[in-house]
Structure 1
Protein backbone atom coordinates (compact mmCIF):
# COMPACT_ATOMS: atom_id res chain seq x y z
CA UNK A 1 0.00 0.00 0.00
CA UNK A 2 1.18 3.53 -0.71
CA UNK A 3 1.91 6.44 1.58
CA UNK A 4 -0.73 7.44 4.09
CA UNK A 5 -2.34 10.72 3.19
CA UNK A 6 -5.15 12.78 4.64
CA UNK A 7 -6.83 15.93 3.46
CA UNK A 8 -7.41 18.84 5.84
CA UNK A 9 -9.99 21.36 4.69
CA UNK A 10 -9.92 24.70 6.50
CA UNK A 11 -12.91 26.96 5.93
CA UNK A 12 -14.56 30.14 7.18
CA UNK A 13 -18.24 30.37 8.08
CA UNK A 14 -20.20 33.00 6.18
CA UNK A 15 -23.21 32.91 8.51
CA UNK A 16 -24.25 31.84 12.00
CA UNK A 17 -25.43 28.26 12.45
CA UNK A 18 -25.81 25.80 15.32
CA UNK A 19 -23.17 23.08 15.38
CA UNK A 20 -25.93 20.46 15.68
CA UNK A 21 -27.52 21.66 12.41
CA UNK A 22 -24.65 20.08 10.45
CA UNK A 23 -24.86 16.34 10.98
CA UNK A 24 -22.88 13.43 9.56
CA UNK A 25 -25.19 12.90 6.57
CA UNK A 26 -24.62 16.55 5.61
CA UNK A 27 -20.85 16.05 5.61
CA UNK A 28 -21.12 12.74 3.74
CA UNK A 29 -23.36 14.36 1.13
CA UNK A 30 -20.91 17.26 0.87
CA UNK A 31 -18.09 14.82 0.05
CA UNK A 32 -20.18 12.95 -2.52
CA UNK A 33 -21.13 16.26 -4.17
CA UNK A 34 -17.45 17.03 -4.65
CA UNK A 35 -17.09 13.81 -6.64
CA UNK A 36 -20.14 14.02 -8.89
CA UNK A 37 -18.11 15.09 -11.93
CA UNK A 38 -15.16 12.77 -11.30
CA UNK A 39 -14.93 9.97 -13.88
CA UNK A 40 -13.87 7.35 -11.34
CA UNK A 41 -15.84 8.29 -8.22
CA UNK A 42 -18.98 10.05 -9.50
CA UNK A 43 -21.19 7.05 -8.63
CA UNK A 44 -19.36 6.05 -5.46
CA UNK A 45 -22.42 6.75 -3.30
CA UNK A 46 -24.25 3.96 -5.16
CA UNK A 47 -21.60 1.33 -4.42
CA UNK A 48 -23.01 -1.63 -2.49
CA UNK A 49 -20.87 -2.73 0.43
CA UNK A 50 -17.87 -1.02 1.97
CA UNK A 51 -17.03 2.54 0.96
CA UNK A 52 -13.42 3.13 1.82
CA UNK A 53 -13.25 6.64 3.24
CA UNK A 54 -13.79 8.38 6.54
CA UNK A 55 -13.99 11.87 7.97
CA UNK A 56 -13.59 13.65 11.29
CA UNK A 57 -15.98 15.82 13.20
CA UNK A 58 -15.80 19.46 12.20
CA UNK A 59 -13.52 21.13 14.73
CA UNK A 60 -13.22 23.07 16.97
CA UNK A 61 -16.59 21.82 18.26
CA UNK A 62 -18.69 24.95 18.80
CA UNK A 63 -21.52 26.78 17.10
CA UNK A 64 -20.68 28.31 13.73
CA UNK A 65 -20.31 32.08 13.87
CA UNK A 66 -19.80 34.30 10.87
CA UNK A 67 -16.07 34.66 10.25
CA UNK A 68 -14.96 31.74 12.43
CA UNK A 69 -12.45 29.23 11.08
CA UNK A 70 -13.00 25.48 11.34
CA UNK A 71 -11.47 22.32 9.90
CA UNK A 72 -12.53 18.93 8.53
CA UNK A 73 -10.26 15.93 7.92
CA UNK A 74 -11.00 13.37 5.19
CA UNK A 75 -9.08 10.08 4.93
CA UNK A 76 -9.04 7.06 2.63
CA UNK A 77 -6.69 4.16 1.83
CA UNK A 78 -7.18 5.15 -1.82
CA UNK A 79 -4.99 8.17 -2.57
CA UNK A 80 -6.89 8.71 -5.84
CA UNK A 81 -10.03 9.36 -3.78
CA UNK A 82 -8.26 12.00 -1.69
CA UNK A 83 -6.76 13.69 -4.76
CA UNK A 84 -10.17 13.69 -6.48
CA UNK A 85 -11.66 15.51 -3.49
CA UNK A 86 -8.74 17.93 -3.45
CA UNK A 87 -8.99 18.68 -7.18
CA UNK A 88 -12.71 19.37 -6.85
CA UNK A 89 -12.15 21.69 -3.90
CA UNK A 90 -9.43 23.54 -5.80
CA UNK A 91 -12.01 24.47 -8.43
CA UNK A 92 -14.31 26.03 -5.84
CA UNK A 93 -14.25 28.86 -3.34
CA UNK A 94 -17.72 29.11 -1.81
CA UNK A 95 -19.60 25.97 -0.75
CA UNK A 96 -22.64 24.99 1.28
CA UNK A 97 -23.05 22.54 4.16
CA UNK A 98 -26.79 22.31 4.76
CA UNK A 99 -27.63 25.67 6.40
CA UNK A 100 -24.01 26.79 6.50
CA UNK A 101 -22.32 28.77 3.75
CA UNK A 102 -18.55 28.49 3.79
CA UNK A 103 -15.53 29.84 1.96
CA UNK A 104 -12.39 27.73 1.61
CA UNK A 105 -9.32 29.02 3.42
CA UNK A 106 -6.85 26.24 2.69
CA UNK A 107 -6.59 22.64 1.47
CA UNK A 108 -3.70 20.55 2.75
CA UNK A 109 -2.53 17.01 2.07
CA UNK A 110 -0.61 15.55 5.01
CA UNK A 111 1.35 12.33 5.53
CA UNK A 112 0.78 11.15 9.13
CA UNK A 113 3.70 9.37 10.77
CA UNK A 114 3.43 5.76 11.85
CA UNK A 115 2.67 4.91 15.46
CA UNK A 116 1.71 1.88 17.53
CA UNK A 117 -0.74 3.82 19.70
CA UNK A 118 -4.10 5.14 18.51
CA UNK A 119 -6.97 7.18 19.87
CA UNK A 120 -10.53 7.28 18.58
CA UNK A 121 -11.48 10.57 16.95
CA UNK A 122 -15.12 9.64 16.32
CA UNK A 123 -17.24 6.89 17.94
CA UNK A 124 -16.52 3.29 16.95
CA UNK A 125 -19.77 1.58 15.95
CA UNK A 126 -20.54 -2.13 15.75
CA UNK A 127 -23.72 -4.09 15.18
CA UNK A 128 -24.57 -6.63 17.86
CA UNK A 129 -27.37 -8.00 15.67
CA UNK A 130 -27.29 -6.98 12.01
CA UNK A 131 -30.69 -8.48 11.25
CA UNK A 132 -32.34 -6.26 13.87
CA UNK A 133 -30.13 -3.23 13.12
CA UNK A 134 -29.14 -3.36 16.79
CA UNK A 135 -25.93 -1.57 17.78
CA UNK A 136 -23.54 -2.98 20.36
CA UNK A 137 -23.80 -1.17 23.70
CA UNK A 138 -21.38 -1.55 26.61
CA UNK A 139 -24.17 -0.35 28.90
CA UNK A 140 -26.34 -3.28 27.84
CA UNK A 141 -23.61 -5.90 27.38
CA UNK A 142 -20.22 -4.93 28.88
CA UNK A 143 -18.15 -7.61 27.16
CA UNK A 144 -14.77 -6.43 25.86
CA UNK A 145 -13.96 -9.83 24.35
CA UNK A 146 -17.13 -9.77 22.25
CA UNK A 147 -16.45 -6.19 21.16
CA UNK A 148 -12.85 -6.71 20.10
CA UNK A 149 -13.52 -10.06 18.42
CA UNK A 150 -16.31 -8.48 16.39
CA UNK A 151 -14.11 -5.45 15.67
CA UNK A 152 -11.28 -7.71 14.49
CA UNK A 153 -13.56 -9.71 12.19
CA UNK A 154 -14.92 -6.50 10.67
CA UNK A 155 -11.43 -5.06 10.18
CA UNK A 156 -10.12 -8.18 8.42
CA UNK A 157 -13.21 -8.40 6.21
CA UNK A 158 -12.79 -4.78 5.09
CA UNK A 159 -9.06 -5.15 4.49
CA UNK A 160 -9.47 -8.28 2.38
CA UNK A 161 -12.32 -6.70 0.42
CA UNK A 162 -10.12 -3.71 -0.39
CA UNK A 163 -6.85 -5.52 -1.12
CA UNK A 164 -8.36 -8.74 -2.54
CA UNK A 165 -6.02 -10.65 -0.24
CA UNK A 166 -6.63 -13.48 2.20
CA UNK A 167 -5.07 -11.84 5.24
CA UNK A 168 -5.67 -13.20 8.72
CA UNK A 169 -4.50 -11.81 12.05
CA UNK A 170 -3.59 -14.49 14.57
CA UNK A 171 -3.10 -12.08 17.47
CA UNK A 172 -5.56 -9.80 19.20
CA UNK A 173 -6.46 -6.66 17.29
CA UNK A 174 -4.93 -4.56 20.09
CA UNK A 175 -2.55 -5.51 22.89
CA UNK A 176 -3.93 -3.00 25.35
CA UNK A 177 -6.70 -0.45 25.48
CA UNK A 178 -8.22 2.26 27.65
CA UNK A 179 -11.97 2.76 27.34
CA UNK A 180 -13.31 6.31 27.55
CA UNK A 181 -17.09 6.19 27.32
CA UNK A 182 -20.13 5.13 25.31
CA UNK A 183 -21.93 7.80 23.30
CA UNK A 184 -25.20 8.12 21.38
CA UNK A 185 -25.11 10.20 18.20
CA UNK A 186 -28.26 11.59 16.61
CA UNK A 187 -28.17 11.78 12.82
CA UNK A 188 -30.83 13.03 10.44
CA UNK A 189 -31.66 11.83 6.95
CA UNK A 190 -34.70 12.81 4.88
CA UNK A 191 -36.40 14.38 7.92
CA UNK A 192 -35.93 11.18 9.94
CA UNK A 193 -33.76 11.06 13.05
CA UNK A 194 -31.72 8.00 14.01
CA UNK A 195 -29.65 7.25 17.10
CA UNK A 196 -26.33 5.47 16.54
CA UNK A 197 -24.50 4.02 19.56
CA UNK A 198 -20.71 3.97 19.60
CA UNK A 199 -17.72 4.09 21.91
CA UNK A 200 -14.73 6.37 22.38
CA UNK A 201 -11.27 5.15 23.40
CA UNK A 202 -8.39 6.96 25.10
CA UNK A 203 -5.85 4.42 23.89
CA UNK A 204 -5.57 1.44 21.53
CA UNK A 205 -2.07 -0.07 21.36
CA UNK A 206 -0.49 -2.71 19.13
CA UNK A 207 2.96 -3.98 18.15
CA UNK A 208 3.54 -3.05 14.51
CA UNK A 209 5.68 -5.40 12.41
CA UNK A 210 6.30 -6.03 8.73
CA UNK A 211 3.52 -8.64 8.57
CA UNK A 212 0.76 -6.39 9.93
CA UNK A 213 2.06 -2.95 8.96
CA UNK A 214 -0.15 -2.52 5.88
CA UNK A 215 -3.19 -3.82 7.75
CA UNK A 216 -2.96 -1.20 10.49
CA UNK A 217 -2.13 1.49 7.96
CA UNK A 218 -5.38 0.58 6.22
CA UNK A 219 -7.35 0.83 9.47
CA UNK A 220 -5.98 4.29 10.13
CA UNK A 221 -7.07 5.36 6.67
CA UNK A 222 -10.53 3.79 6.55
CA UNK A 223 -11.52 3.57 10.22
CA UNK A 224 -12.63 0.93 12.72
CA UNK A 225 -16.03 -0.72 12.91
CA UNK A 226 -19.15 0.05 10.90
CA UNK A 227 -20.34 3.17 9.08
CA UNK A 228 -16.89 4.60 8.33
CA UNK A 229 -18.18 6.51 5.30
CA UNK A 230 -20.62 8.24 7.66
CA UNK A 231 -17.76 9.55 9.77
CA UNK A 232 -17.67 6.86 12.46
CA UNK A 233 -14.66 4.92 13.70
CA UNK A 234 -11.98 7.42 12.71
CA UNK A 235 -8.76 6.88 14.64
CA UNK A 236 -5.63 9.00 14.95
CA UNK A 237 -2.12 7.95 15.80
CA UNK A 238 -0.64 9.24 19.04
CA UNK A 239 2.91 10.55 18.76
Structure 2
Protein backbone atom coordinates (compact mmCIF):
# COMPACT_ATOMS: atom_id res chain seq x y z
CA UNK A 1 0.00 0.00 0.00
CA UNK A 2 0.99 3.62 -0.32
CA UNK A 3 -0.01 7.10 0.67
CA UNK A 4 -0.16 10.07 -1.69
CA UNK A 5 0.52 13.39 0.02
CA UNK A 6 -0.36 16.70 -1.61
CA UNK A 7 2.03 19.35 -0.31
CA UNK A 8 1.76 23.12 -0.77
CA UNK A 9 4.88 25.24 -0.46
CA UNK A 10 4.36 27.86 2.26
CA UNK A 11 7.18 30.13 1.08
CA UNK A 12 9.55 30.82 -1.78
CA UNK A 13 12.22 28.16 -1.34
CA UNK A 14 14.79 25.97 -3.01
CA UNK A 15 14.29 22.29 -3.76
CA UNK A 16 16.77 20.34 -1.63
CA UNK A 17 18.36 17.67 -3.81
CA UNK A 18 19.91 16.08 -0.70
CA UNK A 19 16.48 15.29 0.68
CA UNK A 20 16.90 11.60 1.52
CA UNK A 21 17.78 11.63 5.22
CA UNK A 22 15.53 14.66 5.83
CA UNK A 23 12.51 12.95 4.31
CA UNK A 24 13.36 9.80 6.22
CA UNK A 25 13.51 11.90 9.40
CA UNK A 26 10.10 13.39 8.62
CA UNK A 27 8.59 9.88 8.36
CA UNK A 28 10.26 8.82 11.62
CA UNK A 29 8.87 11.92 13.34
CA UNK A 30 5.35 10.81 12.38
CA UNK A 31 5.98 7.51 14.20
CA UNK A 32 6.84 9.10 17.57
CA UNK A 33 4.80 7.62 20.40
CA UNK A 34 3.84 4.51 18.43
CA UNK A 35 5.12 0.91 18.41
CA UNK A 36 6.66 1.70 15.02
CA UNK A 37 9.11 4.18 16.54
CA UNK A 38 11.46 1.21 16.98
CA UNK A 39 11.99 1.15 13.22
CA UNK A 40 14.47 4.00 13.65
CA UNK A 41 16.95 1.77 15.48
CA UNK A 42 16.08 -1.51 13.76
CA UNK A 43 18.99 -3.14 11.97
CA UNK A 44 18.42 -4.43 8.46
CA UNK A 45 15.28 -3.97 6.41
CA UNK A 46 12.70 -1.47 7.64
CA UNK A 47 10.07 -2.26 4.97
CA UNK A 48 9.09 1.18 3.83
CA UNK A 49 10.11 3.37 0.93
CA UNK A 50 9.27 6.80 -0.45
CA UNK A 51 9.45 8.76 -3.66
CA UNK A 52 11.16 12.08 -4.13
CA UNK A 53 9.07 15.21 -3.71
CA UNK A 54 7.77 15.67 -7.22
CA UNK A 55 7.89 17.38 -9.58
CA UNK A 56 11.37 18.71 -8.85
CA UNK A 57 11.04 21.63 -11.23
CA UNK A 58 8.41 24.22 -10.51
CA UNK A 59 6.15 26.38 -12.60
CA UNK A 60 9.05 28.63 -13.63
CA UNK A 61 11.18 25.64 -14.70
CA UNK A 62 14.08 27.44 -13.04
CA UNK A 63 17.47 25.65 -13.25
CA UNK A 64 17.86 26.28 -9.53
CA UNK A 65 14.69 24.22 -9.03
CA UNK A 66 13.06 26.80 -6.76
CA UNK A 67 9.50 26.73 -5.48
CA UNK A 68 7.24 29.72 -5.10
CA UNK A 69 4.81 30.02 -2.21
CA UNK A 70 1.60 28.20 -3.09
CA UNK A 71 3.15 25.77 -5.59
CA UNK A 72 2.00 22.18 -5.14
CA UNK A 73 4.23 19.13 -4.83
CA UNK A 74 3.44 15.47 -4.14
CA UNK A 75 5.05 12.68 -2.15
CA UNK A 76 4.42 8.94 -2.05
CA UNK A 77 5.18 6.66 0.91
CA UNK A 78 4.87 2.89 0.44
CA UNK A 79 5.08 -0.21 2.64
CA UNK A 80 3.87 -3.83 2.65
CA UNK A 81 3.05 -3.29 6.36
CA UNK A 82 -0.63 -2.32 6.33
CA UNK A 83 -0.55 -1.27 9.99
CA UNK A 84 2.33 1.13 9.37
CA UNK A 85 0.54 2.75 6.43
CA UNK A 86 -2.64 3.01 8.52
CA UNK A 87 -0.81 4.71 11.38
CA UNK A 88 0.96 7.18 9.06
CA UNK A 89 -2.37 7.92 7.39
CA UNK A 90 -4.01 8.75 10.75
CA UNK A 91 -1.14 11.03 11.77
CA UNK A 92 -1.17 12.83 8.41
CA UNK A 93 -4.95 13.27 8.40
CA UNK A 94 -4.59 15.00 11.79
CA UNK A 95 -1.93 17.30 10.33
CA UNK A 96 -4.25 18.11 7.42
CA UNK A 97 -7.13 18.89 9.80
CA UNK A 98 -4.93 21.12 11.96
CA UNK A 99 -3.51 22.88 8.89
CA UNK A 100 -0.09 22.49 10.48
CA UNK A 101 3.12 23.21 8.61
CA UNK A 102 5.67 20.43 8.20
CA UNK A 103 9.38 20.88 7.63
CA UNK A 104 11.50 18.59 5.51
CA UNK A 105 14.98 19.96 6.02
CA UNK A 106 14.79 23.62 5.01
CA UNK A 107 11.68 23.02 2.90
CA UNK A 108 8.34 23.93 4.48
CA UNK A 109 4.95 22.69 3.34
CA UNK A 110 1.35 22.47 4.37
CA UNK A 111 -0.14 19.00 3.87
CA UNK A 112 -3.26 19.68 1.81
CA UNK A 113 -4.47 16.08 1.58
CA UNK A 114 -3.49 12.45 2.05
CA UNK A 115 -4.98 9.50 0.15
CA UNK A 116 -4.40 5.77 0.53
CA UNK A 117 -3.64 3.94 -2.72
CA UNK A 118 -3.29 0.26 -3.52
CA UNK A 119 -1.79 -0.15 -7.00
CA UNK A 120 -2.29 -3.66 -8.33
CA UNK A 121 -0.35 -5.54 -10.94
CA UNK A 122 -1.99 -6.90 -14.04
CA UNK A 123 -0.85 -10.04 -15.83
CA UNK A 124 1.10 -7.78 -18.14
CA UNK A 125 2.50 -4.50 -16.84
CA UNK A 126 5.46 -2.18 -16.76
CA UNK A 127 7.30 -0.97 -13.68
CA UNK A 128 9.38 2.19 -13.73
CA UNK A 129 11.83 3.45 -11.13
CA UNK A 130 10.61 6.55 -9.33
CA UNK A 131 13.97 6.75 -7.55
CA UNK A 132 17.28 5.02 -8.44
CA UNK A 133 17.90 1.37 -7.60
CA UNK A 134 21.03 0.96 -5.48
CA UNK A 135 22.85 -2.39 -5.42
CA UNK A 136 26.17 -3.05 -3.73
CA UNK A 137 28.31 -5.97 -4.88
CA UNK A 138 30.51 -7.39 -2.07
CA UNK A 139 34.22 -7.99 -2.51
CA UNK A 140 33.91 -11.77 -2.23
CA UNK A 141 31.86 -11.81 -5.44
CA UNK A 142 34.14 -9.66 -7.59
CA UNK A 143 35.97 -12.61 -9.13
CA UNK A 144 32.88 -14.70 -9.87
CA UNK A 145 31.23 -11.71 -11.52
CA UNK A 146 34.32 -10.71 -13.48
CA UNK A 147 34.55 -7.33 -11.75
CA UNK A 148 37.95 -5.68 -11.38
CA UNK A 149 37.61 -2.43 -9.40
CA UNK A 150 40.26 0.27 -9.79
CA UNK A 151 41.04 0.06 -6.06
CA UNK A 152 40.74 -2.40 -3.18
CA UNK A 153 37.10 -1.76 -2.25
CA UNK A 154 35.00 -3.79 0.19
CA UNK A 155 32.11 -3.40 -2.27
CA UNK A 156 31.21 -1.53 -5.43
CA UNK A 157 27.92 -0.04 -6.58
CA UNK A 158 26.59 -1.68 -9.71
CA UNK A 159 26.94 0.53 -12.77
CA UNK A 160 26.59 -0.09 -16.48
CA UNK A 161 30.37 -0.61 -16.82
CA UNK A 162 30.03 -3.85 -14.84
CA UNK A 163 28.49 -7.08 -16.24
CA UNK A 164 24.69 -7.27 -16.30
CA UNK A 165 24.53 -10.62 -14.45
CA UNK A 166 25.40 -9.24 -10.99
CA UNK A 167 22.66 -6.61 -11.27
CA UNK A 168 20.00 -9.25 -11.89
CA UNK A 169 21.33 -11.68 -9.31
CA UNK A 170 21.74 -9.08 -6.55
CA UNK A 171 18.33 -7.57 -7.33
CA UNK A 172 16.52 -10.92 -7.13
CA UNK A 173 18.45 -12.13 -4.06
CA UNK A 174 17.66 -8.89 -2.26
CA UNK A 175 13.95 -9.18 -3.03
CA UNK A 176 13.79 -12.78 -1.79
CA UNK A 177 15.68 -11.89 1.43
CA UNK A 178 13.27 -9.07 2.23
CA UNK A 179 10.26 -11.25 1.41
CA UNK A 180 11.46 -14.06 3.69
CA UNK A 181 12.20 -11.72 6.59
CA UNK A 182 8.87 -9.91 6.27
CA UNK A 183 6.72 -13.05 6.10
CA UNK A 184 8.95 -15.19 8.33
CA UNK A 185 9.04 -18.20 6.05
CA UNK A 186 11.00 -19.93 3.34
CA UNK A 187 10.72 -19.06 -0.33
CA UNK A 188 12.59 -21.01 -2.97
CA UNK A 189 14.37 -18.69 -5.38
CA UNK A 190 13.57 -18.64 -9.09
CA UNK A 191 14.01 -16.12 -11.92
CA UNK A 192 11.62 -13.22 -11.39
CA UNK A 193 12.28 -10.55 -13.99
CA UNK A 194 11.51 -10.81 -17.71
CA UNK A 195 12.58 -7.75 -19.69
CA UNK A 196 14.90 -4.95 -18.61
CA UNK A 197 15.25 -1.48 -20.14
CA UNK A 198 18.25 0.39 -18.75
CA UNK A 199 17.85 4.17 -18.75
CA UNK A 200 20.89 5.67 -17.05
CA UNK A 201 23.26 5.67 -14.09
CA UNK A 202 22.78 8.47 -11.57
CA UNK A 203 24.77 9.75 -8.61
CA UNK A 204 22.92 10.99 -5.53
CA UNK A 205 24.53 12.91 -2.69
CA UNK A 206 23.25 11.54 0.61
CA UNK A 207 24.06 12.65 4.16
CA UNK A 208 24.84 9.62 6.36
CA UNK A 209 26.29 9.93 9.84
CA UNK A 210 26.78 13.64 9.31
CA UNK A 211 28.88 13.08 6.19
CA UNK A 212 27.95 13.53 2.56
CA UNK A 213 28.25 10.28 0.62
CA UNK A 214 28.00 9.71 -3.13
CA UNK A 215 25.48 6.97 -3.90
CA UNK A 216 25.44 5.39 -7.35
CA UNK A 217 22.16 3.99 -8.60
CA UNK A 218 20.42 3.24 -11.88
CA UNK A 219 17.10 4.03 -13.55
CA UNK A 220 15.14 1.20 -15.21
CA UNK A 221 11.94 -0.05 -16.74
CA UNK A 222 10.88 -3.64 -16.09
CA UNK A 223 8.40 -5.22 -18.50
CA UNK A 224 6.28 -8.24 -17.60
CA UNK A 225 4.10 -10.14 -20.05
CA UNK A 226 2.93 -12.96 -17.78
CA UNK A 227 2.69 -12.33 -14.03
CA UNK A 228 0.97 -15.05 -12.06
CA UNK A 229 1.27 -16.90 -8.75
CA UNK A 230 4.38 -16.48 -6.62
CA UNK A 231 6.11 -14.26 -9.15
CA UNK A 232 3.24 -11.80 -9.08
CA UNK A 233 3.20 -11.89 -5.27
CA UNK A 234 6.94 -11.11 -5.10
CA UNK A 235 6.74 -8.22 -7.54
CA UNK A 236 3.73 -6.81 -5.66
CA UNK A 237 5.79 -7.02 -2.47
CA UNK A 238 8.69 -5.21 -4.18
CA UNK A 239 6.31 -2.52 -5.40
CA UNK A 240 5.45 -1.81 -1.75
CA UNK A 241 8.84 -2.43 -0.08
CA UNK A 242 11.10 -1.05 -2.82
CA UNK A 243 13.66 -2.68 -5.11
CA UNK A 244 17.33 -3.02 -4.22
CA UNK A 245 18.96 -1.57 -1.13
CA UNK A 246 18.48 1.48 1.10
CA UNK A 247 14.71 1.61 0.55
CA UNK A 248 14.14 3.43 3.85
CA UNK A 249 16.42 6.18 2.47
CA UNK A 250 14.09 6.53 -0.51
CA UNK A 251 15.94 4.39 -3.06
CA UNK A 252 14.28 1.81 -5.30
CA UNK A 253 10.81 3.36 -5.15
CA UNK A 254 8.72 1.81 -7.93
CA UNK A 255 5.67 2.89 -9.93
CA UNK A 256 3.44 0.65 -12.02
CA UNK A 257 2.35 1.69 -15.52
CA UNK A 258 -0.54 -0.15 -17.11
Identify the residue that residue 167 of structure 2 maps to in structure 1: 147
Compared CA separation, residues 26 and 144, structure 1 to 2 (3 A): same
Asked if 1 retains the 8 angstrom alpha-carbon contact of 2:175 and 2:244, the reply is yes
Compared CA separation, residues 232 and 204, structure 1 to 2 (3 A): farther
1:160, CA displacement in angstroms? Answer: 0.3
**Of the candidates 119, 124, 134, which is equivalent to residue 156 of structure 2?**
134
Equivalent-residue separation in structure 2 for 1:37 and 1:236 (angstroms):
31
SS of aligned partner of 1:211: helix
Equivalent-residue separation in structure 1 for 2:120 and 2:209 (angstroms):
39
Equivalent-residue separation in structure 2 for 1:9 and 1:224 (angstroms):
21
Worse overlay, 155-164 or 211-220: 211-220
**Of the candidates 108, 112, 119, which is equivalent to residue 105 of structure 1?**
112
Asked if 2 retains the 8 angstrom alpha-carbon contact of 1:128 and 1:136, the reply is yes
1:16, CA displacement in angstroms? Answer: 2.2
Residue 154 of structure 2 is aligned to residue 158 of structure 1:
no
Equivalent-residue separation in structure 1 for 2:225 and 2:56 (angstroms):
29
Equivalent-residue separation in structure 2 for 1:65 and 1:79 (angstroms):
35
Equivalent-residue separation in structure 1 for 2:17 and 2:256 (angstroms):
29
Identify the residue that residue 103 of structure 2 maps to in structure 1: 96
Identify the residue that residue 180 of structure 1 maps to in structure 2: 199
Structure 1 stretches of at least 4 aligned residues deviating more than 3 Å after TM superposition: none
Identify the residue that residue 57 of structure 1 maps to in structure 2: 52
Identify the residue that residue 6 of structure 2 maps to in structure 1: 10
Structure (1 or 2) with the larger CA radius of gyration? 2
- CA displacement 1:175-215 (0-9 Å, x = unmatched): 11111011101112454211100000133436311232321
Residue 66 of structure 2 is aligned to residue 66 of structure 1:
no
The alignment covers a number of residue pairs equal to 231
RMSD: 1.7
Equivalent-residue separation in structure 2 for 1:173 and 1:114 (angstroms):
14
What is the TM-score of this pair, normalised by structure 1?
0.91
SS of aligned partner of 2:185: coil
Equivalent-residue separation in structure 2 for 1:69 and 1:189 (angstroms):
28
What is the TM-score of this pair, normalised by structure 2?
0.84
**Structure 2 residues without counterparts, runs of 5 or longer:** 58-65, 140-152
Asked if 2 retains the 8 angstrom alpha-carbon contact of 1:22 and 1:97, the reply is no
1:219, CA displacement in angstroms? Answer: 0.6
1:80, CA displacement in angstroms? Answer: 0.7
Asked if 2 retains the 8 angstrom alpha-carbon contact of 1:223 and 1:233, the reply is yes
